[in-house]
Amino acid sequence: MKTSEFKKSLKDKTLVELAALSRDLRQELFNLRLQKASSQLEKPARLRLLRKQIARVETAITELKQKNPPTPAKPKAAAATA
């Protein structure tokens, strides 16, 4: 997937979908690092691409959180003791 397509697809995702995508990308990066350590990595450029994609996803998550901040929980009313 091209970078521009990847960026466009991030805008349509929800916070939950972005978090799942981030987890999946991090898992794939971990697996590639294991392959690199055992000298079985076929595409070393994929490591760099994954790191950049993870950064893009995390940026999208931050932007989404800033755009729609979670509403703070209302404090419970203290029971009146009289």
pLDDT digits (tens, 9 = 90+) for 15-58: 999 999 999 999 999 999 999 999 999 999 999 999 999 999 99
pLDDT at 52: 96
CATH of the domain at 55: 1.10.287.310
Q: Residue 1: which pLDDT band, with cuts at 50, 70 and 90?
A: low
Q: Which residue type, as a one-letter code, is found at position 70?
A: P
Could you list the residue range(s) of the whole structural domain that residue 54 is in? 3-67
Contact 67, 38 (CB under 8 A): no
Q: Determine the average pLDDT of the residues in 63-78.
A: 78
Say if residues 3 and 35 touch (Cβ distance below 8 Å): no
Q: Is residue 74 part of a domain?
A: no
Give the pLDDT of residue 10. Answer: 86
Residue 78, pLDDT > 70, answer no
**Is 63 contained in some domain?**
yes
Picking from 30, 70, 71, 69, the residue whose alpha carbon sits closest to that of residue 47 is 30
How many domains would you assign to the chain? 1
Residue 41 domain-assigned?
Answer: yes
Indicate the pTM of the whole model.
0.77
